Amino acid sequence: MSLPTSRLLRTVQLLTLPAGAAALAVEGAARRAAGQDAEVVRTRLRARNAARTIRVLGGLKGGALKAGQLLSTVDALMPHDPEATWQDALVTLQAGNPSLPFAEVEPVLRAELGPGWRALFSSFNERAVAAASLGQVHRAVWSDGRTVAVKVQYPGVREALIGDVRTLSLVSRAAALVARGLAVPPLMRELRDRLVEELDYAHEARTQTRFATAFGDDPDIVVPSVVRASSRVLVTEWLDGVPLSAVARTADQAERDRVAGLYQRFLVSGPERAGLLHTDPHPGNFLRLTDGRLGVLDFGSSLEMPDGMPATFGRLIGALLGDDPGEVLRRLREGGFVRPGVQVEVEKLVDYMSPFTEPARHDVFRFSRAWLQREFGRVNDPRHPDFGVALKLDLPAEHLFTHRVWLGMVGVLGQLEAELPVRPVLRRWLPGFDGH
C-alpha cells in the first residue's frame, strides 16, 4: 500500500471519520429501537469506530497520524470507555501502525546512503519494527557490530504533511470565526515550520546529539547516539525497552511513580541542560529500558531554547497559584496571552486553568485519569460559567509547543496514575516559577 499524497484524497479520507461516526450513531439508535441491548450495541459500535480510526490515520500517516498520536497523550479525555477500546486504539497509533512494503522505502535508502548501502550493515531486517507518522524503523546491525535503529522516511510524506497542514489551517480559520481573536496565522506558521523541520533527519540527528551530550552523564536517562544521518535516513543505536503506555498497564505503583518522575524531569530540564525542549511527549517516544533507565526516542520535534524555558511561562504559572488577580492579569499581558484593552475575569480564568496549575500547588501530587477527565470535562463544558473566558485568551505562537508539552506531560502522568513531586521540580527547572 502506497502513501496517499493527493490533498483531495487525504481530505476525503479524513472526512470519512466524522461521517462514519455519524452513520454508526444512526445504526446504534436503530438497533436499540429494535430491542437490542443498549450496552452491547455501544460496545460493538465503539470497537468498529476505533478500528476505522486506526485504519484511516495509520494509512494516511503524515500530519493526520501525528494528530492521532497527540491524542494518545490525553487518552483520559476520550468518551466513557469501560473496555479501554479507545486506549487500545491510541496505543496502536503510537507503535502499531502498518508499515510500507520494503520495496517502497528501499529507493530512499539507496538515494540517501548510496547504491551500496547494504555494505554499511552486517545485517538488515527488511520487516519494519515500527511505523511512525513520517517514517518507519528497521532493526539492523551496523558494520562494527552495534545493533541500530534505521529510520527511513516515507517517500512522498513531505507533500502529504504540507497538504495536511493546509487542511488544518482552513479548519482553524473556520474555528477562529467562533473564537474571535485567536491568532491563527502565526500559530499555523509555527506549526508548519516545526513539522517541516521534522522532515529533515540530518537536523534531527544534530538535535539528538545535543541531547545525548547533555544527558550523557545522567545515570537514569538514556538518549541513543547517532551513528549516521542524511536528510531522509537516520541511524541510531538501538534501545531495548517497553513504552510508557505498557508501563501504565503492567507496572506496580512504585515503578509507575519512579518512571513518571524520570519522564517529568527529562521534559522540564531539557531547556536548561540541552538548550532544547523535546516537544513530542507522547508515551511511545519514551521507554523503560531493561535496566530500569528511561530511554528517549524521536527528536524530530524539538524547540530551540538557548536561554532555558521562557521565564514568562514560569512567572505565569506562579502567578496563577497566588491570590493576587492584578498580578495574574499583568503576567498574562506580559506573556502576550491577553491583548491590551481586553478585560478578563481573572477569578474565572484561574479556575479555568486549574488542569494545568493544580499539580503545581503541591509538593507531591497524584495524577489520575479520573482527575483529568473531571477537570477537562468541567472547563470544556459550554454550560460551565467559566467557559467563555477561554475565548478572550490568545496563544502566542512562541508558546504553542510549550503548551503542547505541558498538556501532553499532564496527560501521560495521568495515564501512569503517578504520585510524584511537582512543585520542587518546577522550582528547580522552570525559570520564573517562585513556588507560590
pLDDT in tens, the chain (436 residues): 555 555 555 555 655 665 666 666 666 777 777 777 777 667 776 667 666 666 666 555 555 455 554 554 444 445 555 545 555 555 555 555 678 899 999 999 999 999 999 999 999 999 999 887 788 999 999 999 999 999 999 988 887 776 666 665 544 443 443 344 444 445 555 566 667 788 899 999 999 999 999 999 999 999 999 999 999 999 999 999 999 989 999 999 999 999 999 999 999 999 999 999 998 888 889 999 999 999 999 998 898 998 888 887 788 788 788 778 788 888 778 777 777 777 777 777 777 777 778 898 899 999 998 888 777 766 666 566 655 666 666 666 667 778 778 888 988 999 899 999 999 999 999 888 874 4
**What CA–CA distance (Å, rounded) separates 53 from 91?**
12
The Cα-based distances of 200 to 122, 158, 193 in angstroms read 26, 10, 11
124 domain residue, yes or no: no
Output the pLDDT for position 58. 57
How far is Cα of residue 232 from the mean position of the Cα atoms in its chain? Answer: 22
Q: Which of 64, 95, 126 is the last residue of a domain?
A: 95
pLDDT tens profile 120-169: 999 999 999 988 778 899 999 999 999 999 999 998 888 777 666 666 55
Output the pLDDT for position 344. 75
- 294 forms beta bridges with 221, 288
**What CA–CA distance (Å, rounded) separates 233 from 230?**
5
Q: How many helices (H) and strands (E) would you count in the chain?
A: 17, 14
Determine contact, residues 366/228, Cβ cutoff 8 Å.
no
Output the pLDDT for position 382. 58
Task: Find, among 167, 151, 148, the residue nearest to 159 by Cα.
Answer: 167
Output the pLDDT for position 102. 96
Output the pLDDT for position 180. 41
Output the pLDDT for position 309. 85
84 domain residue, yes or no: yes
**What CA–CA distance (Å, rounded) separates 418 from 257?**
5
**What CA–CA distance (Å, rounded) separates 297 from 284?**
8
Output the pLDDT for position 181. 43
Cβ partners under 8 Å of residue 104, min gap 6: 2, 155
Q: Which of 95, 119, 135 is the last residue of a domain?
A: 95
DSSP state of 387: G
- DSSP three-state, residue 252: coil
Determine contact, residues 66/84, Cβ cutoff 8 Å.
no
Task: Find, among 226, 202, 194, 239, the residue nearest to 63 by Cα.
Answer: 194
302 domain residue, yes or no: no
Q: What are phi and psi of 223, to 5 degrees?
A: -115, 120
Cβ partners under 8 Å of residue 351, min gap 6: 379, 386
Number of domains in the chain: 2
Output the pLDDT for position 178. 37
- Element at 29 (helix H, strand E): helix 7-33
DSSP state of 102: H
**What CA–CA distance (Å, rounded) separates 140 from 135?**
16
Give the residue numbers marked as catalytic: 280
- 302 forms beta bridges with 278
Cell for 241? 525497552
68 domain residue, yes or no: yes
Burial 393-404 (b: 16+ CB within 10 A, else e): bbbbbebbbbeb
331 domain residue, yes or no: yes
353 domain residue, yes or no: yes
Determine contact, residues 357/320, Cβ cutoff 8 Å.
yes
Task: Find, among 282, 258, 279, the residue nearest to 411 by Cα.
Answer: 282
79 domain residue, yes or no: yes
330 domain residue, yes or no: yes
Q: Which of 73, 95, 117 is the last residue of a domain?
A: 95
Q: How does strand 294-296 pair with strand 221-222?
A: parallel
The boundaries of the domain holding residue 64 are: 7-95
Cell for 230? 542524511
Output the pLDDT for position 96. 55
DSSP state of 78: S
For residue 176, the one-letter residue type is: A
How far is Cα of residue 39 from the mean position of the Cα atoms in its chain? Answer: 32
Cell for 82? 469501560
Output the pLDDT for position 144. 96
Exposed, middle or buried: residue 145 (CB in 10 Å: 0-12, 13-18, 19+)?
A: exposed
